[in-house]
Amino acid sequence: MSVQGLEAATRPLLEGRDLRFGYAGGPPVFEHVSLDIGEREIVCLLGGSGCGKSTLLRLLGRLEKHDGTQAGGEVRLGGEPLTAPHPRTALVFQQPSLLPWLSAARNVGFGLDFQHQPRHDQATLQRRVDEALAAVGLGGQGDLYPAQLSGGMAQRVALARALAREPQLLLADEPFSALDAITRAEMQELLVDVVHRWHTAALLVTHDIDEAILVGDRILLMGGRPGRIVHEWRVDIPRPREAHPEAVTALRLQVLEALREVRHATAPGPAV
Ligand SMILES: Nc1ncnc2c1ncn2[C@@H]1O[C@H](COP(=O)(O)OP(=O)(O)O)[C@@H](O)[C@H]1O
Ligand SMILES: [Mg+2]
């Protein structure tokens, strides 16, 4: 393999370098944040509420203003500078945000033929919608309307909508937080399964330690004020992880301890 070829093969899919961000008129939310996501890798970004996880995810997806005095750093996707939302970077949020007047299938297909998307014929678009619905376990149920879907089914449709873009990278912001515990566990399993089968990489933002350990190949812990990436763990526990409760518990304790340390370091001091 040529040196260039080797570089392309080992280069991370997404590279964020020295990222910083502050909302207009406010203090910096985070600074000096660098992170990589490899091809087909699942990275979990874990941190307490308000530490800047969602802001960082949106900055990486280029949904936030990324230059000027309040923001900076560089994001590359596949080695190319990323300056605007990319058609093969798909997003999933806590709320499925389905259009109530469109069927599940039409929600999944919505926007696939928009101008900034690659052009495809109708048969290809239909195939993508069908495959995406089947991948999330909703094959044959595309005619249902959002009002007919449970919370878990609606979030499956949102995941299918992301998959229909055949994303290289899935950016998911607490996508399961609003679901009950059993549905959440099912969706965590589904996410891992789908990401593996579709050869997609994923960044999953979560405040749930167990979710990060069950889902991630790697966990990044964000904390501090302004926020930084303060810890990183590679999760080498074989899947399914539930089959290795001792290893899961040991890692859980490490992560919990680190989370406590960050909290302690950033807690306001006693009033004097
Ligand atoms: N649109 C906004 N305008 C101003 N401040 C915001 C906005 N969104 C979030 N913030 C602030 O930025 C910080 C980080 O928020 P966020 O990224 O949502 O954290 P997290 O996702 O970790 O809970 C918080 O202090 C929050 O209040
Ligand atoms: Mg958030």
Q: What is the pLDDT of residue 222?
A: 97
* Cα–Cα–Cα angle for 203, 21, 64, rounded to 5 degrees: 65
Kind plus residue range of the DSSP H or E element containing 170: strand 169-173
Cβ burial, residue 123 (10 Å; 0-12/13-18/19+) = exposed
And the tokens for 266? 């950033």
Look up the pTM and report it. Answer: 0.92
| Cα separation, 62 vs 82, whole angstroms | 7
| Cα 85–chain centre separation | 14
**What pLDDT does 119 receive?**
74
Q: Is 173 helix (H, G, I), strand (E, B) or coil?
A: strand
What's the CA gap between 156 and 136, in Å, rounded?
6
pLDDT score for 272: 45
User: Closest-lying ligand to the alpha carbon of 58?
Assistant: 1
DSSP per position, 246-258: HHHHHHHHHHHHH
User: Which H or E element spans position 90?
Assistant: strand 89-92
Chain centroid to Cα 190, Å, comes to 14
51 touches ligand 1 (CB under 6 Å): yes
Question: What's residue 7's pLDDT?
Answer: 57
- Best probe residue, ligand 1, of 55, 206, 221 (max atoms within 8 Å of C-beta): 55
pLDDT tens digits for the chain (272 residues)?
555 565 556 789 999 999 999 999 899 999 999 999 999 999 999 999 999 999 999 999 999 988 888 999 999 999 999 999 998 999 999 999 999 999 999 999 998 876 566 677 888 889 999 999 999 999 999 999 999 999 999 999 999 999 999 999 999 999 999 999 999 999 999 999 999 999 999 999 999 999 999 999 999 999 999 999 999 999 999 999 999 999 999 999 999 999 999 887 776 655 54
Is residue 232 within 8 A of residue 242, CB to CB? The reply is no
C-alpha 81 to ligand 2 mean position (Å): 25
CA distance linking residue 43 with residue 148, whole number of Å? 33
pLDDT value at position 126? 92
